[in-house]
Amino acid sequence: IEFLKEYSKEYVMDVNVELTEPIGSVVYIQFQLGNNSFIAQVDSHTKAKRGKKIPLYFEMSKVHLFESDPPHKSIG
């Protein structure tokens, strides 16, 4: 999941950031939607901070989903 500067309002959700991990020019953020954990790749200039609520814009063509149980096969 990537944070986008240009977005469709159809694919925006407010999420609570649980964890951030800066890796060079990107930051990975972890958040929950319902009972599911997700990790999103965002630009390193993000204002996302642990414990902060941010709008997250989904570019559906770049979303990758995996099974929650090993071997974590791709499902979409």
CA 65, 29, 61, 13: dihedral to nearest 10 degrees?
100
Tokens matching residue 68: 């929650």
Region of residue 31 (left: phi > 0; alpha: psi -120 to 50; beta: else) = beta
The reply to whether 20 falls in a domain is yes
More reliable by pLDDT, 51 or 5: 51
Whether the CB-CB separation of 74 and 42 falls below 8 Å is answered with: no
Task: Quote the pTM value.
Answer: 0.70
pLDDT of residue 6: 54
pLDDT of residue 64: 74
pLDDT of residue 24: 93
Tell me if the bond preceding 55 is cis, omega within 30° of 0: no
Q: What is the CATH number of the domain that holds 53?
A: 2.40.50.140
Q: Give me the domain span that covers residue 20.
A: 9-62
The reply to whether 48 falls in a domain is yes
pLDDT tens per residue across span 22-61: 999 999 999 998 888 889 998 899 889 999 999 988 776 7
pLDDT of residue 9: 65
